[in-house]
Amino acid sequence: MLKLTKYLLPYTFLLILLLLLTYGQTAASLALPDYMANIINKGIIGQDTGLIFSNGLWMLLISLAGGVATIGVGYLAAQIATGFAMKIREKVFTKVENFSLAEFNTFSTASLITRSTNDIQQIQTVFVMILRLALMAPFLGVGAIIKAYHLAPSMTWIMAVAIAILVIIIVTLFSIAIPKFQKLQELVDKLNLVTREILTGLRVIRAFDNEKYEEKKFQVVNTDLTGLNLTVNRIMILLQPAMMLIMNMTMIAIVWVGAHQVDLGNLQLGDILAFMQYSMQGIMGFLMLSIVFIMVPRASVSANRVAEILETDPIINDPADPVKAKSGQGIIEFKDVSFSYKGAEAPVLEHISFTALPGQTTAIVGSTGSGKSTLINLIPRFYDVTAGEVLIDGVNIKAMRQEDLYRKIGYVPQKAVLFSGTVASNIKYGAPKADDAIVQAAARTAQATEFIDRLEKQFGDPIAQGGANVSGGQKQRLSIARAIARNPEIYLFDDSFSALDFTTDAKLRAALAKETKNKTVLIVAQRISTIRQADKIIVLDEGRIAGQGTHNELLKTSEVYREIAASQLSSEELSRALPISATGKAAL
């Protein structure tokens, strides 16, 4: 938890005030036994009613002051702990937002969710306990020992023995339990991962009638977590009966030894009762520390997991001296680009070189796993190239601020993503200042008005989280409309037409051609029909360029492209661009 203490600096004044109130709360607790001893020794036994009244009044006032201090400590502890947790949560969220895809591959999504919620909640809970109990415990424990020693030096050994036994028990239990806390958080991560996977893939699970299989998988993780929780709790539950035994044995020892001291005339009855209270307060001080220590090991594991995120520096950062590219152009150039994923044996892309110009559509096609999506992900710097350069308007994208780079790009991902809100808010997501006319025009170009007009509130109709209440094709069209509303210099379509029927696909491409006539357009596609009219088609094969040219040129020059085309187009369509052989068939 020490790694996170720097986030407490804004609460320095409140912490000082909390310490003062804690001291006042402890001082009140330690003062009361002295007044009680006076009342018994001099008031009741000495029959001094005036002393009983005055000491009783002081006890009442001190109790009230202690109560006010206790309320203040509770309020400030909650205020500081929740604010501290909120600040850490903000820092974690901001850090995760700045992560590149490489960092997301290092931390799983399930783990990031657990660290941002469960782990920070653990830290907050323990921090409240530390502020309310652990700060008070040293004052109370040490103060009670000092008071007891001044009251009855000959009996202080009883407290020393009790506290020594208490420390031995706590250390023994913690040495067994602490290693299990790390495993506990890992199992929480695993449970989160399995739950998220099952809930996300619920439709597929039902379609293949695999509910029982997934239930067993969930049950295994759930049983492991429950078993480990029970083990830790069984270890820690031994602490409470041990404490009660020590406290009761201490009281018996005090009464036994104290009775002899009273009989010898060394102590008075009130002193014995006061000593007994100081002993209980001393033990309670260490007991409070032990309660906090029960929770601290697990919280320290959580704190280390959160600190791991905060201390991870994103691989992709803005340069110290950024260069701003010219606006209104959008020329993309790949210069001998290669890329490898971290830990991969072979590069995904090798020696990629091409130029995409404004007013032209550049298409990228290839078999599954050829590196199409990876290539297009290099342009917005979701990943950074391993070798070579990606230039926009002659400027290396690594030399630009990410904000300036994103402003040039309208990106439509392979998996359409929508956010909870309305149809209009999703289209305006990349252009918050866009007016209704821009939103409607973008929807028309994306062929989205066909279904928007049928909605009850049209552009004001609600969109569920993740777009759960719209179809795959509707999601894609809204994602395309979102990119169009941004009016960027560069459009990146990562297989963004796969869920559209052929008619809608053709209409959309025709409308896009008008909308993007002066823009740079890159399209990743599986369907030849989507890209056959492109000005330039780049064919990827195992991470390398296997051909560049138009549809007709590639049918004649690229064997890889011909294989892809032959699997999708009819012989008649192929024969328009291929030379006819002596047999009268198109030459493949």
Helix or strand run (H / E) with residue 463: strand 462-463
**What does the pLDDT read at residue 205?**
83
Six token digits for residue 554 = 């590639």
Of residues 363 and 45, more confidently modeled: 363
Q: Which domains does the chain have, with CATH numbers?
A: 8-310 (1.20.1560.10), 324-408+488-588 (3.40.50.300), 416-486 (3.40.50.300)
CA–CA distance, 292 with 284 (Å, rounded to integer): 12
**What does the pLDDT read at residue 586?**
37
Percent of the chain's residues with pLDDT above 70: 94
Q: Where are the alpha helices (H) located in 378-435, listed in sequence order?
A: 402-407, 423-427
**What does the pLDDT read at residue 574?**
61
* Residue 319 confidence class, pLDDT cut points 50, 70, 90: confident
CA–CA distance, 588 with 228 (Å, rounded to integer): 64
Q: DSSP labels for 26-81?
A: HHHHHHHHHHHHHIIIIIITTT-HHHHHHHHHHHHHHHHHHHHHHHHHHHHHHHHH
Tell me the backbone φ, ψ of residue 352, rounded to 5 degrees: -90, 125
- DSSP symbol at 475: H
- Edge-to-edge order in the sheet of strand 395-396: 349-356, 332-339, 387-392, 395-396
CA–CA distance, 295 with 123 (Å, rounded to integer): 9
pLDDT in tens, 418-431: 888 888 888 888 88
Q: At what angle do helices 156-200 and 239-264 cross, to 10 degrees?
A: 170
Q: Is the pLDDT of residue 20 over 60?
A: yes
Of residues 412 and 41, more confidently modeled: 412
* Residue 583 confidence class, pLDDT cut points 50, 70, 90: very low
Q: What is the 3-state secondary structure (H, E, C) of 325-369?
A: CCCCCCCEEEEEEEECCCCCCCCCEEEEEEEECCCCEEEEEECCC
The mean pLDDT value for 518-527 works out to 85
Q: Where are the alpha helices (H) located in 98-155, listed in sequence order?
A: 101-106, 109-114, 120-129, 136-151
Helix or strand run (H / E) with residue 462: strand 462-463
Q: Which one-letter amino acid corresponds to residue 62? A: I
**What does the pLDDT read at residue 580?**
36
Average pLDDT over the chain reads 82
Tell me the backbone φ, ψ of residue 493, rounded to 5 degrees: -115, 105
pLDDT in tens, 141-169: 888 888 888 888 888 888 888 888 887 88
pLDDT in tens, 292-312: 776 777 677 788 888 888 888
Percent of the chain's residues with pLDDT above 90: 4
- DSSP symbol at 412: E
pLDDT in tens, 538-579: 988 888 888 888 888 888 888 888 888 777 766 666 665 544
* Residue 584 confidence class, pLDDT cut points 50, 70, 90: very low
Of 518, 523, 519, 527, whose CA–CA distance to 538 is shortest?
Answer: 523
Six token digits for residue 89 = 């949560």
Beta bridge partners of 539: 365, 547
Q: Is the pLDDT of residue 62 over 80?
A: yes
Of residues 571 and 76, more confidently modeled: 76
pLDDT in tens, 77-132: 999 999 999 998 998 888 888 887 777 777 777 778 888 888 888 888 888 888 88
Residue 460 in contact with residue 423, Cβ under 8 Å?
Answer: yes
Report the half-sphere exposure of 102 (CA within 13 A, side-chain side).
Answer: 19
